[in-house]
Amino acid sequence: MAADKAMAGASWGLAVVDAASGRELLARGEGLNLVPASTMKLPVTAAALEYLGPEKRFLTRLLSAVKPAGGAVGGDLYLVGGGDPSLGSEIIRNAPALPAVYSVWAETLRTAGISSVSGGILADESLFESFQPGSWSWEDIGNYYAARPSALSVNDNTYRIYFRPGAAPGEKAEVVRTEPPMPGLSFENLMLTGPEGSGDNGYVFAFPGQDSAVLRGTIPQGPVDFAIKAALPDPPLFAAGALTDSLSAAGIKIAGKPAAGKAPAAAYELASSASAPLSEIVRALNKRSFNLYAEMLLRHMGLERGAGGTPEEGRKAVSAFLEAEGVAGGFQVADGCGLSRVNLARAGDFARLLASVHAKPWFPVFYDSLPFPGDPDAGGAMRRLGAGTALEGALRLKTGSLRGVRAYAGYLKTKKGRTLAFCSIVNNYTAPGSAIDELHRGLLMELHKKY
C-alpha cells in the first residue's frame, strides 16, 4: 500500500490495536503529527458523552422581564438560547421543525391570555461564545459547514440559495430565490454553469453578520432549480424574526422589531423547549459529519467544567479528557469539528483512544453514531466505503477529508470475532481522493480476514 503510486510523496500514519486489550497489532508512521480533518469529531464526541452524559438536554426559553398582566407583556420578550443544536434541525431524528415549536409557544401564550407585547423580541445568545476559529478558511466561512456556533441556533444555521443554470457550461447561473426568504440580504452573483453532473462547486463568501455575500464557483447544467446551502448571517436575529412572525400570525401583537439583547437575571418564563438528548445529537453529528454540532458541544464542555463557554475552555476540556485516557500527547486540539488545519493527531494515540473508550458505559451510543457501509443516515464516502463487501455489518467508520487530507478511524469486527480499533491518516497526497479510499477499502478487507 505504501508503495502504491497514489501514496507517492504523502505522509501516512496507521495504527491498528485490539479494542479489548489495547495491544498494538499493526503500525506504520503511528507517531507522525498529521492533520486529521473530520475524524477529530471522534475525540470531541467521546469527551462530550463523558462530561455531559447521553441523556443531556439543552433548553431554549422565552422570557419576559415582568409577569404579564391584563393580557399584555409590558416591555420586551427575550428568546434565550440554551445551546440546543436540534432546534429546527433537518438531520436529528424526531427534532421538531422551528414553526412547530413556535406554534406550541404561541398557543401557550394565548392560553395564558397574552394578546400583546409592548416591546419586541430580543435574541439572547450570551450562554457561550459564537466566534469561529481564526484558522478556518475564508473559502469556508459563508457556507453551511462553517456556520457560526451560536447558543441560539436554528434550522442548523442554514438557508438555501436556488439557482437556474445557464443553457451551456460557462454561462451565468441566475439566483432564483432563497429558502427561507432572507429579506435584507443581497448577493454579488458570479456563479457560473458547469458541465452536466458536475455537482455543487459553489461557494458563498460572507462574514458572520454581514448583509451581503459573494457567490462564486459553478453549479451543474441541467436541473431547473439547483440549491446550495449557506450559513445564516445572524442566526439569533433570524430566530427572533421568525418568532415575531409566528406570534403575529397567531394574533399576538408585537409592537417592536426583533433585535439582539440580554435577558435580565430575574425574569418570568413564558415558554420553553427542550432539545433532543445528547445521544441523538452525537448520532447525527458523526453520521453526517456536521461541524456546527461539534462546535456547540465543544463550548458546552467548557461550561460543564465551570470554566466558561469559550472555544478555548472547550479545547481544554477535550485535552483533559484525552489526558485521563492516557493519550494527551497525541492530539493538538484547535477546534471541535476538524475544519481547522491546525488540528493534529497521531494515528497510534488515536487508535489507543478508541480502544480505551470501548469499555465506557456510554460506548454503545458512541458506536451507534459511527457510519457503516450502506448506512442510509450517513453521507458521502462514509456510506460508500465498503458497501457491497464483507465489510458490511463489520465496519463502523468515521472519515475525514480536506484538500490533500484523507483520514479513517473506527472499529472493525473480524472474521475471527475480534474487534479492532484503527486509525489511518494520509496527508499531502496528490492522487484523486477516490484512489486513497480504494486503498483503504483493500486494507480493511485484509484486516477483516487476517485477524
Q: Does the fold of domain 59-129+234-274 match that of domain 5-55+278-450?
A: no
Residue 195: cis peptide before it, omega within 30 degrees of 0: no
HSE on the CB side for 293, CA within 13 Å? Answer: 32
pLDDT 10s digits, 127-141: 999 999 999 999 999
CB count in 10 Å sphere of residue 8 = 11
Rounded to an integer, the average pLDDT of 290-303 is 98
Which burial class, exposed, middle or buried, applies to 193 when counting CB atoms under 10 A from its CB (0-12, 13-18, 19+)? buried
All three cell numbers of 226, joined, read 439547483
pLDDT for res 255 = 97
CA distance 42 to 330: 14
Q: Give the distance between the most distant pair of CA atoms in the chain.
A: 79
Is residue 20 within 8 A of residue 417, CB to CB? The reply is no
pLDDT 10s digits, 218-245: 999 999 999 999 999 999 999 999 999 9
Across the chain, mean pLDDT equals: 96
Output b/e per residue, 56-80; b: 16+ Cβ within 10 A: bbbebbbbbbeebeeeebebbbbbb
What residue spans define the domains of the chain? Answer: 5-55+278-450, 59-129+234-274, 155-231
Topology of the domain covering 5-55+278-450: Beta-lactamase (3.40.710)
pLDDT at 380 over 90: no
pLDDT at 341 over 90: yes
User: What's the chain's Rg over C-alpha atoms?
Assistant: 23
Of 193, 188, 240, nearest in space to 210 by CA: 188
Strand, helix or coil for residue 35: coil
Q: How confident is the model at residue 382 (pLDDT cuts 50, 70, 90)?
A: confident
pLDDT 10s digits, 407-421: 999 999 999 999 999
DSSP H helical ranges for 116-199: 138-141
State which amino acid sits at residue 63. L
| 51 CA to centre of own chain | 19
Is residue 201 within 8 A of residue 194, CB to CB? The reply is yes
Output b/e per residue, 285-297; b: 16+ Cβ within 10 A: bbbbbbbbbbbbb
pLDDT for res 60 = 98
All three cell numbers of 216, joined, read 462564486
All three cell numbers of 204, joined, read 458563498
Residues composing the chain:
451
CB count in 10 Å sphere of residue 269 = 12
State which amino acid sits at residue 265. A
Q: How confident is the model at residue 209 (pLDDT cuts 50, 70, 90)?
A: confident
DSSP H helical ranges for 269-380: 278-288, 291-304, 311-324, 347-357, 363-368
Helix axes 278-288, 41-52, angle to 10 degrees: 180
All three cell numbers of 419, joined, read 474487534
pLDDT 10s digits, 235-286: 999 999 999 999 999 999 999 999 999 999 999 999 999 999 999 999 999 9
* Cα distances (Å, whole numbers) of residue 253 to 62, 272, 324: 16, 20, 54
All three cell numbers of 82, joined, read 440554551
pLDDT for res 313 = 97
Task: Annotate 78-106 with DSSP letters as a single string.
Answer: EEE----TTTT-SSSTTPPPHHHHHHHHH
CB count in 10 Å sphere of residue 169 = 15
Topology of the domain covering 59-129+234-274: D-tyrosyl-trna(Tyr) Deacylase; Chain: A; (3.50.80)
* Cα distances (Å, whole numbers) of residue 400 to 37, 203, 269, 288: 5, 20, 42, 11
pLDDT at 381 over 80: no
Of 341, 412, 351, 340, nearest in space to 13 by CA: 351
Q: How confident is the model at residue 383 (pLDDT cuts 50, 70, 90)?
A: confident
CA distance 136 to 240: 28
CB count in 10 Å sphere of residue 190 = 14
pLDDT 10s digits, 15-74: 999 999 999 999 999 999 999 999 999 999 999 999 999 999 999 999 999 999 999 999
CA distance 66 to 76: 9
State which amino acid sits at residue 263. A
Q: How confident is the model at residue 384 (pLDDT cuts 50, 70, 90)?
A: confident
Is residue 448 within 8 A of residue 391, CB to CB? The reply is yes
Q: pTM for the full model? A: 0.96
